[in-house]
Amino acid sequence: MRVFNRRGNDWTKRFGKIADDAWHVAAGSAIVDGEVVVPAKGRTTDLSVLHWHGIYVGCRKTKT
């Protein structure tokens, strides 16, 4: 599993937990696209925290 940002940079080390947990997906091959968010008060999320840091993550499961 490798984690890439939207510009194609490998951010696997920055998001190692996501990369490690993605191996539990029962698939021989997969592309997982999504966003990482920060939990906020009131059972909401605060995506602006990550965008402020310039972080957007798309994940792709690839052979290494």
Full domain range(s) for residue 8: 2-61
* Number of independent structural domains in the chain: 1
Supply the pLDDT for residue 19.
Answer: 87
Phi, psi of 17 (to 5 degrees): -60, -40
Question: Would you state the pLDDT for residue 55?
Answer: 60
Q: What is the pLDDT of residue 48?
A: 72
Contacts of 35 (CB under 8 A, 6+ apart): 47, 50, 56, 57
Q: Digits of tens for pLDDT over the chain (64 positions)?
A: 888 887 888 988 888 888 888 888 888 888 888 877 788 888 888 777 766 655 654 444 445 4
